[in-house]
Every structure is written in C-alpha cells, then in structure tokens.
Amino acid sequence: MALFGSLSEKLGHVFSKITKKGVLTELEIKNAMREIRIALLEADVNYVVVKDLVAKVAEKSSGERVMKSLTPGQQVVKIVNEELTELMGSTNSKLQVSSKLPTVILMVGLQGAGKTTMCGKLAKYLKKQGKNPLLVACDIYRPAAINQLKIVGKSVDTEVYDEGTNKPQKTASNAIKYANKKNYDTLIIDTAGRLHINDELMDELRQVKKAVEPTEILLVVDSMTGQDAVNVAETFNEKLDITGVILTKLDGDTRGGAAFSIKAVTGKSIKFCSVGEKMDDLEAFYPDRMASRILDMGDVLTLIEKAQENVSKEEAAEIEKKFKENAFTFDDYLKQFDQIKKMGNISDILAMIPGANKLKIPQDSISDQQLAKNKAIIQSMTKKERINPDIINGARRKRIAQGSGTTIQDVNILLKQFYQTKDFIKQYGKGGKRGFKFPF
C-alpha cells in the first residue's frame, strides 16, 4: 500500500466534495474541517496537533480571499498542503558534517524499531553520496546483535568495527581512532535498545555520547506504533537531546500519524524515512513532498531522483519517444516492469504521479506475484500481438491464457491496464492538459 494510503483516500474524499463547487459556504467549510479532523485522528496524529492544524486551516479557509475565489475548494486544498508541510518541518533537514573528521552518527532507539538494519541502510545511502562510512557494533546485550550488524554490513559492502563485549563507550571511542587510521570519514554507531525506556539504557547512551561527542544523534522509531512513537521520541529527546528522527515502516499504513506529530511535539526534524525492506529503501524526508503525496498531488521530484538512479537517459528518451508517437507496445511494457521494480515499491511509485490515485488500480494488481503473472501473459503473446494488441480477439485471449497458465479474465485485466496506461500518459504526459512531464 502506498504511503498514508488510507489517510490520502479519506482526505481525497473530503476535497472531492468541495473542489467541485464554485462557491463555498461557512457550513461546507465547517463540515470539511470536521472530516479532516476525524481523518487525522484516525491516522493517530496527536490530538493537540490535530486541533491546532484544523484551527489554522479553518481560519485561513474562512477568509474573504478564499470565499470569493473562483476556485475556493482548490484554495482550501492549498492551505491544507501548506499547513501539513509546516507541521512536518517545512524543509528537508540534512545530516550535519563535522568540521573534524570523522563525522559521528549515534543511532539510538528501542528494541524492534529496526535500528541495526537502519544502520546498514544509512551506510548505503551515504556511500551513494560519496562518503566512506564505518559501522560500529555497540549493542553487546542482544543475542547475535554484533553478528547481525556484520551481516548487514556485508550486504552493503561496509566494514564493521567491534570489540566483542567490551564497554560500548570504550568500543565507540576506539572506533574513532580506527577510523582515522583507515581514512573512514563517517562512523555509524549501532547502540543497544530495550523493550522499554529505562534509566540503565539512558545512562549507557549518555556515556557513549560523552565519549564520542556525536555530530548527530538519530532516533529510530517505528512509525506503525503511532502515538507511542511520539512518546518515545519525546523521552529520548529529553534525555539525550537528539538531533533528528528516522521513521521506519512508513510503507505501512496502519498508524502513520507519527510523521505529523514528532516535529511539533519534540521540535526535532524527521531526517529520513524507511519505505521498504530493501537496503535501498531509505529516503531523505522532505515535508513538502510528503504533504503532496498525501494529498494526491504527486511527488515528481522524488520520482525523478529514483528514475535517474535506475534508468539511463537513453532508455528514458526511447520510452518517452514511443509514448509521444503512440508506438508503445507490450514489449516496451515488459521492459517497464523491470525498470519500475528497480525504483522500489510500485504502489509508492504510482503515488508519486499527480492524480494517479484516480486510476483506482487494485493493490493486488501491482504485487510482485501479479507482475510475474503479467510477464507470463505477455511472453505468451506472438510478436505481432505484442506490437498490435488490437488484434487480440476471443480466440487469441484463450490461447494466451492457456500458454501462460492464467485465465482469460487475467488477460483481459492486463489488456485493460495496458490501454489505461497509454491513455494516462497521453493525457498527463508532455503536452498533456495538466502539464505533467515524463519523469526522467
């Protein structure tokens, strides 16, 4: 499911009722605010945060500039977008770099938040930025924690420094000397967690902090725990004065309200969000882009970044040309499956395209299993059928279904999606009426 899929759908329903109107009454705005309040509370956003947000939106939406606007509904959506962006921190908060290398990043959090895996994801992210990170194992309590970090380190081609069960503050301090000797410019220190916050944990973390004087203290929290994540962030901030937050499991949709509440409650920015299980599934957190995705306005900048990382300019130019010339075939469609999978979770990719939610593509139609089925269907077509699918009649559909081990209904669904994709690109691509450009 796409990020904040449920919340996005509920807010979309609210806005669909007011954007169609040429004039908005005070009652209609009041009702819209009530529905927005309920949607945010159901997403487990902090009650005080919701109350303040809705009050600000209501005040700005009731002004004469909005009420007498030619598009009052769109003005309300714009105001909500601005307030959500402000709530989550306005701008991207970048990692700080120490003037005296190495830069030390202390990773803290409760057990089960995904801290050790996040150390590996951050290492891979930094390597893409040209950094040379070293992972440091300072969790000496959890069984096999050091081995887990070594496995993670190997998967991202990053060395792990450890001293077994030596005191964490001593290991961390020695790791700095080792980093200087081996020319590592960044230390990522994996610390111990607990099931619950306690004095013992905080005392140890304070000792490590004192020993290494970290440039960044990043708290890793599980966004699926909703308000509990906010409470954890508040406590860690009080005890350690954290510099930022990393949200894990943001690809889940159960209780994503932590993203809205943490900045308001702690004053500390969300710096990264984890949007999947792969080591590449880590994104810098941009409040404005996140707000746009939630409101189905897309996130073309992130889409462009992902595309540039995974698709060559030549491939992009070729596929864009085919779309513009209406020469897109099932062979091209087959190539796109592989290219899009490289870019990450497909439902999240779709959510980055403005208005894509209106396609109403079922979630089970974009799973890895369904993609494999679609590939089998295409590979069962003849070359002529792939180039010109208009010739695929009933008899051909039956043959294709039998050849791919699927049903005629599966073939029909794929054909419908293929034509739907072509129509969508034709409408929203370069020269389209909404000006959305091909994202490469």
Q: Residue 22's domain is classified under what CATH number?
A: 1.20.120.140
Which pair of tokens denotes residue 369?
Answer: 């299993």
Residue 97 resides in a domain: no
258 and 111 inside one domain:
yes
What is the band of 313 on the pLDDT scale with cuts at 50, 70, 90? Answer: low
Structural domain containing residue 379: 300-428
pLDDT of residue 167 exceeding 80, the answer is: yes
Q: Which of 272, 294, 316 is the last residue of a domain?
A: 294
285 and 354 inside one domain:
no
Distance CA 364, CA 286 (A): 28
What is the band of 440 on the pLDDT scale with cuts at 50, 70, 90? Answer: very low
The pLDDT, as a whole number, for residue 242 is: 94
Q: Which of the pair, 347 or 166, is modelled with greater confidence?
A: 166
How far CA 39 is from CA of 16, 288, 351, in Å, comes to 15, 19, 19
The pLDDT, as a whole number, for residue 438 is: 42
The string of pLDDT tens digits covering residues 364-376 is 555 667 778 888 9
Sign of the dihedral through C-alpha 286, 288, 292, 298: negative
Q: Which residue type is seen at 415?
A: L
What is the band of 141 on the pLDDT scale with cuts at 50, 70, 90? Answer: confident
The pLDDT, as a whole number, for residue 34 is: 93
Question: DSSP labels for 345-376?
Answer: -HHHHHHTSTTGGGG---GGGGSHHHHHHHHH
The string of pLDDT tens digits covering residues 91-104 is 888 899 998 889 99
320 and 288 inside one domain:
no
The pLDDT, as a whole number, for residue 72 is: 77
3-class DSSP state of 136 = strand
Distance CA 11, CA 33 (A): 10
Which pair of tokens denotes residue 193?
Answer: 């967690």
pTM over 0.85: no
Q: Which of the pair, 420 or 280, is modelled with greater confidence?
A: 280
160 and 226 inside one domain:
yes
The string of pLDDT tens digits covering residues 205-226 is 999 999 999 999 999 988 777 7
What is the band of 433 on the pLDDT scale with cuts at 50, 70, 90? Answer: very low
Residue 437 resides in a domain: no
340 and 253 inside one domain:
no
- On the 0-12 / 13-18 / 19+ scale of CB atoms within 10 A, 102 is buried
What is the band of 332 on the pLDDT scale with cuts at 50, 70, 90? Answer: confident
The pLDDT, as a whole number, for residue 439 is: 41
What is the band of 432 on the pLDDT scale with cuts at 50, 70, 90? Answer: very low
Q: Residue 377's domain is classified under what CATH number?
A: 1.10.260.30
Q: What is the mean pLDDT of the chain?
A: 82
Distance CA 292, CA 354 (A): 9
Sign of the dihedral through C-alpha 200, 204, 207, 213: negative
The string of pLDDT tens digits covering residues 265-306 is 888 999 998 877 889 888 898 888 888 877 766 555 566 666
287 and 310 inside one domain:
no
Residue 211 resides in a domain: yes
Residue 359 resides in a domain: yes
The pLDDT, as a whole number, for residue 341 is: 67
121 and 178 inside one domain:
yes
Residue 167 CB contacts under 8 Å (≥ 6 apart), including other chains: none
Which pair of tokens denotes residue 92?
Answer: 């991207």
The pLDDT, as a whole number, for residue 249 is: 78
The pLDDT, as a whole number, for residue 5 is: 67
The pLDDT, as a whole number, for residue 280 is: 87
274 and 176 inside one domain:
yes
321 and 230 inside one domain:
no
Q: Which of 259, 294, 329 is the last residue of a domain?
A: 294
Nearest to 194 by CA among 111, 299, 314: 111
3-class DSSP state of 277 = coil
315 and 264 inside one domain:
no
User: Looking at 21-30, 108-117, 431-440, which range is the least confident one?
Assistant: 431-440
3-class DSSP state of 49 = helix
DSSP character at residue 95: P
387 and 305 inside one domain:
yes
Q: Which of the pair, 255 or 90, is modelled with greater confidence?
A: 90
The pLDDT, as a whole number, for residue 281 is: 85
pLDDT of residue 161 exceeding 70, the answer is: yes
The pLDDT, as a whole number, for residue 334 is: 80
Residue 435 resides in a domain: no
Q: Which of the pair, 142 or 388, is modelled with greater confidence?
A: 388
Residue 59 resides in a domain: yes
pLDDT of residue 385 exceeding 90, the answer is: yes
Residue 285 resides in a domain: yes
Nearest to 430 by CA among 421, 439, 418, 419: 439
What is the band of 64 on the pLDDT scale with cuts at 50, 70, 90? Answer: low
Residue 254 resides in a domain: yes
247 and 396 inside one domain:
no
Q: The sheet that has 216-222: what strands, in order across it?
A: 160-161, 133-138, 186-191, 103-108, 216-222, 244-248, 270-274, 282-284
How far CA 373 is from CA of 155, 178, 192, 296, 424, in Å, comes to 29, 50, 43, 28, 23
Q: Residue 165's domain is classified under what CATH number?
A: 3.40.50.300
Please give the span between the terminal C-alpha atoms of the chain, in angstroms, as a whole number.
Answer: 24
Distance CA 337, CA 369 (A): 12
Q: Which of the pair, 16 or 159, is modelled with greater confidence?
A: 159
pLDDT of residue 361 exceeding 70, the answer is: no
Domains identified in the chain, total number: 3
Q: Which of 87, 113, 147 is the last residue of a domain?
A: 87
